[in-house]
């Protein structure tokens, strides 16, 4: 067995932690030697033919018990005849490496440990039949929303629960009880026993876990879970095709000496490894790169629904009355018919379509639309003859009508309108409650408030609104003139109870539906109310995804989500009354014409609020509009289709959200509960509103676009295709020498960073095209580096298409803004521009020039318009985040967030109102309010309603950071039409920088690694200097910012701070303190190195490198310094000898760089040794590098 060293985590700010006195590092060498012996060892063992991976990477808190855990599992492996590979190298998580393991153990991992591709590879491994075991802090892994990280809800489901808290005392004895003694992990345990541990509280505990062990919360102090004697600490379950086992033990070394816990490990690993069945990747989720999205048409005018005819033609309807057909040969949409009688007030219009199963013979197309009738309207389900591209308006046969009560001054919402035939010829139609939107259930039955009473419609058994109807159309009318029959199994057997057409009642706005003919299950997406918090009227608002295996009542307006009841309400007194009885909801409305006591309310299958749900956290947060796609089966698609979805999606529900813009697929467990919810494609859609699988097995989507109640340039008819071949598409990367500038803008388009996944870059071909109406148009050129001139001011887009030799393509888009040259900002200093020295002040000068505005030298740009900031970032802060805030004009950043980085534009226009007021209206309303910024930040984050009249609700945005909120508000308030004056200058345009802020910024480092060591104070942090200027913009182009930033770090750089390593392994000695083990180059490599990027060597005479080791772990070798290219000749080198007895005085060597000036990439490492290619052969350990201005003494 080869034991791969676990690398210690970097504590917050470790990347910028700097040592004031390098001599202190000498004191740590004894600890380093002890750490090397403790962590790095090779133990020979036989090949047992079964293998587990012990993965212990940490990004946050690191448990010192990891080494003890590895040793314990290794010992169990020898006893139970399985091999152990211990690693913290996440690159092992791929389709090639993981199948070698029968199980993967996450041992006290923390934080964001895998990137997106690695996550998908692990999902695929489990889905293929692999096993997982999580130990202790595995539950504190991959669950937080972290900036620049990957959020992984699937992993949280895999573990079965998420860390919430633990008692302050992390070593308390708890009384444990075995809840299932039949499992291999518990069959040898006593019924009750005791053990000291750090007892985790859990959140998001999955419904499907099988609990094996519980701890009694009364036996220790500090529990917050409220589970009493049933607090789970070990569980298992089959999961997503594989096996999952979790044990909450393992905080300390002592846990891995406890024989009961070792028995749990022994049995848990055995169960996770399974019976040795071969992995079947045919059952695994496809990789994201296999899906691509193609825009078929754009600039649509409010597309709502789409459907394929039995002949294979694609049709869609636009709300304002057009029936469209997409012509695949002409690659364009054709208008088949425009309904002039459509009432398109509010959300009314041409709402849905479906084709008769016998369409080829009878030519019937079914359309659901709103027509005007008096001062209101009427919803009409009718069918028409459709021959070719001609709809015969005179052939209309009306099947159903129902009121549409909205009228000027009395708005209503919620139309439904989706339709689908089942295999038996039954037609399902969704209808909305036709009621004004509100935070909660609107059940105001006072005279004159009929539009505010959902009880008159959704809660009324004699009203067709707020329902899913199920009828069977007939060729000829019956004796009563009706063109349909009522199939068996609808909700009301007697017309006296309710309308026989009703299959499902109690719905608010069921906007899309899907019927699975094989399972006979009906799914639908239900758009819910907007309450941001529970109150005396009822719970928070939820959207729902629902299922029905038979007819039933789903509760609205009396019940929502998991059967949470609403209160009846006295609107005259503004007073909540009693709560509805979910078992027998009572319709008390004076407008009710049906049953008073309704059928029992059914709970929603899947439901989510504005904020992230602890129940269905996969669905993120923000605005809501739940949608479903038709159920897919691959054997129903064309056999020869090369773009059809694979069998992984057979029978699974694909869901989407109009506001959140994702597309996901739901997998269920054996009990039919949602088990996993994972993305289908890794790019957002432009407000998807309906979906349909085509005859080719691809998924077609109508995307409504950004703005409401209008046509949108980003409104699309698109197709999501699957590629099932073995030639993965290339990666298209498009850049340009300039993307902003004055007109005309001449620039060079650059595709050189594009690559083929198979490595055949030389075979790539390139195509650059202008984007016109949302689609690629005129060809610009076919060169890797393509020159182009954009003559006209305004916004332009270019698409790059990269094609590999196998014909696979990938695209990338570039955006250009022409009409304003960006300002140039320079910061000049004397001396070195990488490091600071406490005893050496730095002189600086800032200069700004702008083509349109002038320059600071002449005074045409006032110094007060330039923002200058000199600051210090402590080791506990994130330098990148600070710079992202300090170096950006908040108004410009806010503009980008509003237009591209958030859902703000979905409800607000710049100058024109949409669902909500325009941004300009908001700015003018709050212009004189001194508290405006705070009010607007609160409204954005927490939501608001009623401030602009009506019942439109501002959704919550809990995931926007304080910085995002401040920038959005800055942009909005900049639209008030007044001149905000100059910018706040934090420093002058010229002056002197001094360095004294780091003196109190240190950590005290002490540890015991077999030798007790006190290293004293470690100093950390960076100084930054930033200057920025925002120009005035032009009529053709918005304002632009220019900025320059200088960052100065300590001249002592630890091995922690290498920007990149190759052939080098970092070993943790203590949190935030690592050494870099330099291995002999192997596998064809010629140089093992650690890289420091962009280091200024101006005034640097030598670099003092602390490089050492201990025999027999390290062998010694040559330390070389190379610049700018790892394959360049060394500019300095030293032999690192490893004596039998460590010589601490000789641990530091000097590399002369006095002849080198300017900024360079620095490579520190070991060259290949002729005749030596030993994997894992360590030459020496690099501890630190000090950049010295002093010449070497003779």
pLDDT in tens, 692-746: 999 999 999 999 998 888 888 889 999 999 999 888 889 899 999 999 999 999 9
Compute the half-sphere exposure of residue 1050: CA atoms within 13 Å on the CB side of its CA: 28
**Rounded average pLDDT over 980-986:** 40
d(CA 779, CA 769): 4
Sign, CA dihedral 466-468-594-598, equals negative
166, 231 Cβ separation under 8 angstroms:
no
Compute the half-sphere exposure of residue 850: CA atoms within 13 Å on the CB side of its CA: 27
- Phi, psi of 875, rounded to the nearest 5 degrees: -65, -20
Going by pLDDT thresholds of 50, 70 and 90, the confidence category of residue 308 is very high
Instruction: Give the pLDDT score at 8.
Output: 31
585-631 residue pLDDT tens: 999 999 999 999 999 999 999 999 999 899 999 998 888 999 999 99
Q: Which range scores top for mean pLDDT: 484-488, 1070-1074, 1166-1170?
A: 484-488
Name residue, tokens 């010694």. Answer: 1116
DSSP β-bridge partners for residue 1053:
1185
pLDDT, the chain, mean: 88
What are the C-alpha distances in Å from 1157 to residues 131, 837, 1099, 1187?
Answer: 55, 18, 7, 13
Residue 331 structure tokens: 């690659």
Q: CATH code for 735-818?
A: 2.60.40.10
pLDDT top residue among 731 and 1? 731
Residue 15 has pLDDT above 50, yes or no: no
Q: How many helices (H) and strands (E) does the chain have?
A: 12, 72
- Phi, psi of 73, rounded to the nearest 5 degrees: -70, -35
At a CB cut-off of 8 Å and minimum separation 6, what does 108 contact? Answer: 56, 58, 62, 63, 65, 66, 69, 135, 136, 137, 138, 250
Percent of the chain at pLDDT > 90 equals: 70
Nearest to 829 by CA among 1046, 1024, 664: 1046
Furthest C-alpha separation in the chain? 115
Residue 1035 structure tokens: 């009529």
Residue 493 structure tokens: 């057997």
At a CB cut-off of 8 Å and minimum separation 6, what does 555 contact? Answer: 506, 563, 582, 585, 601, 602
The packing angle between helices 932-942 and 962-973, to 10°, is 120
What does the chain come to in residues?
1194
Residue 323 has pLDDT above 70, yes or no: yes
Tell me the CATH class for 822-1050: mainly alpha
Instruction: Give the pLDDT score at 667.
Output: 96
User: 1052-1188 domain in CATH 2.60.120.260?
Assistant: yes
Q: Which range scores top for mean pLDDT: 506-510, 725-729, 1039-1043?
A: 506-510
SS3 at position 1078: strand
Instruction: Give the pLDDT score at 1189.
Output: 94
**371: buried, middle or exposed (CB in 10 Å: 19+, 13-18, 0-12)?**
middle
893, 886 Cβ separation under 8 angstroms:
no
Per domain, the residue ranges of the chain are 38-160+232-283, 412-628, 735-818, 822-1050, 1052-1188
At a CB cut-off of 8 Å and minimum separation 6, what does 606 contact? Answer: 544, 545, 546, 616, 655, 666, 674
d(CA 736, CA 731): 17
DSSP β-bridge partners for residue 795:
817
Instruction: Give the pLDDT score at 922.
Output: 78
Lowest mean pLDDT among 576-590, 821-835, 1034-1048: 1034-1048
pLDDT top residue among 712 and 770? 770
Query: How many C-beta atoms lie closer than 10 Å to residue 421's C-beta?
Result: 20
Residue 598 structure tokens: 């309704």
SS3 at position 892: helix
Instruction: Give the pLDDT score at 761.
Output: 56
Residue 978 has pLDDT above 80, yes or no: no
Residue 980 has pLDDT above 60, yes or no: no
Query: How many C-beta atoms lie closer than 10 Å to residue 378's C-beta?
Result: 18
Q: Which helix (H) or strand (E) element contains residue 319?
A: none
701, 639 Cβ separation under 8 angstroms:
no
163, 200 Cβ separation under 8 angstroms:
yes
**Rounded average pLDDT over 916-943:** 75
Instruction: Give the pLDDT score at 595.
Output: 98
pLDDT top residue among 562 and 972? 562
At a CB cut-off of 8 Å and minimum separation 6, what does 782 contact? Answer: 765, 766, 767, 768
Query: How many C-beta atoms lie closer than 10 Å to residue 889's C-beta?
Result: 22
User: The pTM is what?
Assistant: 0.80
d(CA 526, CA 1143): 73
Nearest to 32 by CA among 1180, 1186, 1150: 1180
Query: How many C-beta atoms lie closer than 10 Å to residue 931's C-beta?
Result: 9
**Rounded average pLDDT over 830-840:** 92
Instruction: Work out the angle at residue 161's Cα, subtended by the Cα atoms of residues 155 and 162, and round it to the nearest 5 degrees.
Output: 80
pLDDT top residue among 1057 and 1175? 1057
199-255 residue pLDDT tens: 999 999 999 999 999 999 999 999 999 999 999 999 999 999 999 999 999 999 999
146, 152 Cβ separation under 8 angstroms:
no
Q: What is the DSSP string of 270-302?
A: HHHHTT-PPP-GGGSPPPGGGEEEEEEEES-SS
Residue 305 structure tokens: 């629904």
527-561 residue pLDDT tens: 999 998 999 999 999 999 999 999 999 999 999 99
d(CA 221, CA 202): 16
Residue 42 has pLDDT above 50, yes or no: no
733, 754 Cβ separation under 8 angstroms:
yes
Query: How many C-beta atoms lie closer than 10 Å to residue 184's C-beta?
Result: 16
**Rounded average pLDDT over 120-132:** 98
Going by pLDDT thresholds of 50, 70 and 90, the confidence category of residue 38 is very low
pLDDT top residue among 433 and 986? 433
Q: Which CATH number is 38-160+232-283's, of 3.40.50.9100, 3.40.50.300, 3.40.50.880, 1.10.10.60?
A: 3.40.50.880
Residue 597 structure tokens: 């006591």
406, 376 Cβ separation under 8 angstroms:
yes
**Rounded average pLDDT over 968-976:** 73
- Phi, psi of 70, rounded to the nearest 5 degrees: -60, -45
Residue 778 structure tokens: 């005129």
Residue 165 structure tokens: 């808290």
């Amino acid at each position: 067995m080869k034991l791969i060293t676990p690398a210690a985590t970097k504590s917050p700010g470790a990347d910028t932690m700097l040592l004031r006195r390098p001599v202190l590092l000498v004191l740590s060498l004894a600890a380093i030697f002890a750490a090397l012996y403790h962590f790095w060892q090779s133990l020979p063992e036989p090949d047992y033919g079964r293998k587990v991976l012990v993965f212990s990477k940490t990004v946050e808190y690191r448990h010192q018990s990891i080494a003890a855990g590895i040793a314990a599992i290794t010992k169990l492996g020898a006893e139970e005849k399985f091999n152990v590979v211990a690693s913290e190298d996440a690159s092992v998580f791929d389709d090639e490496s993981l199948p070698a393991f029968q199980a993967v153990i996450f041992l006290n991992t923390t934080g964001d440990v895998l990137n997106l591709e690695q996550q998908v590879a692990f999902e695929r491994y489990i889905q293929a039949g692999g096993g997982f075991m999580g130990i202790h802090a595995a539950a504190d892994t991959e669950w937080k929303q972290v900036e620049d990280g990957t959020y992984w809800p699937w992993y949280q489901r895999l573990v079965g629960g998420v860390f919430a808290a633990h008692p302050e005392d992390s070593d308390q004895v708890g009384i444990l009880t075995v809840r299932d003694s039949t499992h291999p992990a518990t069959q040898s345990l006593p019924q009750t026993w005791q053990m000291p541990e750090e007892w985790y509280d859990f959140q998001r505990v999955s419904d499907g876990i099988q609990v094996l062990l519980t701890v009694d919360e009364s036996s220790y102090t500090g529990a917050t879970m409220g589970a009493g004697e049933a607090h789970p600490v070990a569980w298992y379950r089959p999961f997503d095709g594989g096996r999952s086992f979790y044990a909450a033990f393992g905080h300390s070394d002592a846990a891995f000496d406890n024989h009961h816990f070792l028995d749990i490990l022994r049995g848990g690993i055995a169960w996770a490894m399974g019976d040795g069945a071969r992995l079947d990747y045919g059952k695994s989720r496809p990789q994201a790169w296999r899906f691509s999205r193609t825009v078929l048409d754009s600039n649509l005018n409010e597309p709502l629904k789409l459907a394929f005819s039995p002949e294979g033609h694609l049709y869609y309807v636009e709300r304002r009355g057009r029936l469209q057909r997409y012509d695949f040969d002409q690659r364009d949409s054709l208008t088949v018919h425009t309904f002039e009688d459509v009432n398109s007030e509010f959300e009314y219009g041409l709402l849905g379509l479906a084709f008769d199963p016998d369409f080829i013979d009878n030519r019937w197309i079914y359309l659901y639309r709103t027509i005007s009738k008096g001062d209101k309207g009427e919803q009409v389900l009718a069918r028409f003859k459709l021959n070719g591209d001609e709809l015969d308006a005179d052939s209309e046969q009306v099947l159903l009508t129902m009121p549409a009560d909205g009228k000027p001054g009395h708005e209503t919402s919620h139309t439904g309108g989706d339709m689908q035939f089942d295999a038996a010829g039954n037609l399902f139609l969704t209808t909305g409650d036709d009621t004004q939107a509100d935070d909660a259930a609107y059940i105001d039955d006072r005279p004159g408030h009929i539009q505010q009473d959902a009880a008159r419609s959704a809660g009324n058994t004699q009203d067709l609104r707020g329902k899913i109807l199920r009828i069977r159309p007939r060729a000829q009318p019956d004796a009563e003139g009706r063109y349909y029959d009522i199939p068996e199994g609808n909700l009301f057997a007697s017309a006296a109870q309710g309308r026989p057409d009703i299959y499902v009642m109690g719905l608010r706005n069921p906007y899309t539906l899907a019927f699975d003919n094989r399972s006979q299950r009906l799914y639908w997406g239900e758009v819910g109310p907007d309450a941001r918090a529970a109150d005396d009227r009822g719970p928070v608002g939820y959207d729902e995804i629902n299922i029905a295996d038979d007819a039933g009542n789903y509760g609205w307006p009396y019940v929502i989500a998991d059967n949470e009841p609403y209160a009846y309400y006295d609107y005259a007194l503004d007073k909540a009354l009693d709560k509805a009885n979910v078992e027998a909801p009572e319709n008390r409305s004076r407008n009710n014409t049906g049953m008073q006591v309704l059928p029992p309310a059914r709970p929603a299958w899947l439901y989510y609020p504005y904020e992230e749900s602890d129940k269905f956290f996969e669905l993120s947060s923000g605005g809501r509009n739940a949608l479903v796609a038709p159920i897919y089966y691959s054997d129903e698609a064309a056999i020869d289709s090369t773009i059809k979805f694979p069998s992984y999606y057979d029978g699974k529900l694909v869901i989407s959200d109009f506001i959140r813009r994702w597309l996901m697929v739901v997998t269920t467990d054996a009990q039919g509960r949602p088990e996993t919810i994972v993305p289908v494609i890794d790019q957002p859609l432009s407000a998807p509103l309906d979906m349909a699988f085509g005859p080719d097995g691809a998924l077609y989507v109508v995307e409504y676009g950004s703005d409401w109640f209008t046509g949108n340039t980003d409104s699309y008819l698109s197709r999501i295709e699957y590629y099932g071949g073995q030639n993965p598409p290339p990666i298209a990367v498009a850049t340009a020498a300039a993307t902003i500038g004055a007109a005309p803008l001449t620039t060079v388009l650059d595709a050189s960073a594009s690559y083929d996944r198979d490595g055949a870059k030389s075979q790539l071909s390139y195509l650059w095209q202008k984007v016109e109406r949302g689609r690629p148009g005129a060809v610009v050129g076919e060169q890797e580096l393509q020159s182009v001139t954009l003559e006209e001011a305004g916004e332009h887009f270019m698409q790059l298409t990269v094609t590999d030799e196998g014909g696979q393509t990938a695209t990338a888009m570039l955006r250009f803004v022409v009409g304003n040259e960006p300002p140039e900002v320079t910061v000049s200093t004397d001396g070195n521009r990488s490091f600071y020295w406490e005893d050496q002040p730095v002189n600086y000068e800032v200069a700004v020039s702008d083509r349109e505005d002038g320059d600071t030298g002449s005074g045409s740009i006032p110094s007060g318009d330039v923002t200058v900031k000199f600051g210090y970032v402590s080791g506990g802060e994130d330098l990148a985040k600070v710079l992202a805030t300090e170096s950006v004009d908040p108004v410009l950043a806010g503009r980008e967030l509003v237009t591209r980085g958030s859902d703000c534009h979905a409800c607000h226009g710049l100058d024109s109102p949409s669902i909500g007021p325009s941004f300009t209206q908001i700015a003018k309303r709050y212009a004189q309010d001194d508290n405006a910024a705070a009010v607007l930040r609160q409204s954005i984050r927490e939501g608001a309603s009623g401030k602009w009249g009506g019942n439109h609700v501002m959704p919550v945005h809990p995931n926007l950071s304080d910085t995002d909120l401040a920038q959005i508000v800055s942009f909005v308030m900049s639209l008030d039409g007044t001149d905000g004056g100059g910018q706040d200058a934090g420093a002058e345009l010229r002056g002197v920088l001094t360095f004294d802020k780091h003196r109190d910024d240190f950590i005290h480092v002490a540890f015991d690694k077999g030798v007790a060591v006190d290293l004293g104070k470690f100093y950390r942090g960076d100084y930054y200097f930033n200057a920025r200027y925002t120009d005035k913009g032009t009529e053709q182009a918005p304002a632009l910012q220019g900025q320059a930033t200088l960052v100065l770090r300590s001249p002592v750089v630890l091995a922690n701070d290498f920007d990149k390593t190759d052939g080098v392994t970092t070993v943790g000695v203590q949190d935030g303190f690592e050494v870099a083990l330099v291995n002999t180059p192997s596998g064809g490599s010629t140089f093992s190195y650690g890289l420091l990027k962009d280091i200024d060597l101006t005034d640097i005479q030598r670099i003092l490198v602390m490089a050492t080791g201990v025999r027999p772990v390290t062998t010694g070798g040559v330390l070389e310094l190379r610049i700018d290219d790892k394959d360049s000749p060394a500019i300095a080198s030293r032999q690192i000898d490893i004596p039998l007895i460590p010589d601490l005085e000789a641990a530091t060597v000097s590399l002369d760089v006095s002849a080198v000036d300017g900024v360079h990439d620095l490579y520190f490492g070991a060259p290949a040794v002729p005749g030596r290619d030993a994997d894992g052969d360590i030459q020496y350990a690099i501890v630190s590098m000090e950049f010295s201005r002093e010449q070497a003494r003779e």
